Amino acid sequence: MESAIPVITPGPRPWRRFNGEPIDLPIRDAVEDAIRREAASGTRLKVCIGTDSQVRAGDTEFATVIVFLREGRGGFMFLHTEKSTVPYSLRERMLVEVSKSIEIAYELCGLFTEYDVAMEVHADINTHPNFRSNEALREATGYILGMGFAFKAKPEAFASSCCADKFVG
């Protein structure tokens, strides 16, 4: 019997569940399966999408999450991480986070409309002007709202500031 040699592919890790289990389907199919499964059990969902990042040793690690909230019954999430060697200013990094969230929200928004699932994009940007991340707030808000998505920033942006935050660095 021939033994399989694992192939290590550079680049982003595949989407996975909170427990680390990889999602083998394209993310759109996995999200649709989750929506259908929850609808079949009579559960109403809301989805929050957010990204956070952390800089370590010159690399920036990004984590994007799709958080599924079950009305009155907890929730679950899918996550994706990737690293970049590009040096970003804080403002640029905040806008890249928003861009990553918008990219996945845009890919999935047709499903959310089709299945009547509410969706928000969460930005890990502080609304208080004393915080440095606030310098990107106006641009991020315009970008997200301009795409037609509901938007939350800190402290209400739990998908990015709490959930995604756990998977960077």
Distance between first and last Cα of the chain? 40
CATH architecture of 16-167: 2-Layer Sandwich (3.30)
Cα angle 74, 70, 111 (rounded to 5 degrees) comes to 140
Q: Which residues of the chain have pLDDT under 70?
A: 1-13, 169
Q: How far apart are CA 107 and CA 28, in angstroms?
A: 7
Q: How far apart are CA 54 and CA 169, in angstroms?
A: 6
144: tokens are 């997200």
**Strands 59-70, 75-84: parallel, antiparallel or unpaired by DSSP?**
antiparallel
